[in-house]
Amino acid sequence: MNFAERIFHSVLFEIGAVSVATLAVVAAGSHDAGTAAGAGLVMAGMAMVWNFIFNYGFDKIFTGKREARGLGLRVFHTLAFEAGLLLFTVPVLAHLLQLSLWHALLADIGLTALITVYALVFNWMFDHARAKWLEKRSLASECVLEK
């Protein structure tokens, strides 16, 4: 992926992640929607930076067609990403939601489990949609060249 695609991927992912996390926090009844969304936006900003750095490094190590990545590698990718993110987000979540570090860790683990499933599905769908888009763009270019 080029730089613009990485930015698009990160922003699109975080819009969905903030929505899912906000709904989960509100459904748990622990905070109001405004507080949950505010914390979600801060966490999303942190996650976007981590997402860019982590995926850049991951793609340098695991080369090849992204859409050809199997379930095992996708699960590893998702778990490694979320574990790294957890190190940064627990203290911030504790501060924003006025929780102890222990309760913030438990809340973050719950949200991480939810977002892990979301990330697995999102990235799989994104990679396949991107591959189809690139294929169509390539076919369109070939048609223009033939004329």
For 45-58, how does the pLDDT look when each residue is reduced to its tens digit (9 = 90+)? 898 899 889 999 99
Mean pLDDT confidence for 6-18:
89
Number of C-beta neighbours around residue 38 at 10 A: 15
In this predicted structure, what is the pLDDT of residue 129?
A: 94
In this predicted structure, what is the pLDDT of residue 32?
A: 86
Structure tokens at 32: 């109001």
Give the pLDDT band of residue 146 (cuts 50, 70, 90). Answer: low
Q: What percent of the chain has pLDDT over 70?
A: 95
Q: Is the pLDDT of residue 134 over 70?
A: yes
CA distance 130 to 134: 6
The backbone region for 100, taken as left when phi is positive above 0, alpha when psi lies in -120 to 50, beta otherwise, is beta
Mean pLDDT confidence for 127-147:
78
Q: Is the pLDDT of residue 143 over 70?
A: no
Give the pLDDT band of residue 144 (cuts 50, 70, 90). Answer: low
- Cβ atoms of 62 and 69 within 8 Å: the answer is yes
| Reduced 3-state DSSP string for the chain | CCHHHHHHHHHHHHHHHHHHHHHHHHHHCCCCHHHHHHHHHHHHHHHHHHHHHHHHHHHHHCCCCHHHCCHHHHHHHHHHHHHHHHHHHHHHHHHHCCCCHHHHHHHHHHHHHHHHHHHHHHHHHHHHHHHHHHHHHHHHHHHHHHC
In this predicted structure, what is the pLDDT of residue 64?
A: 86
Phi, psi angle pair for 85, to nearest 5°: -65, -40
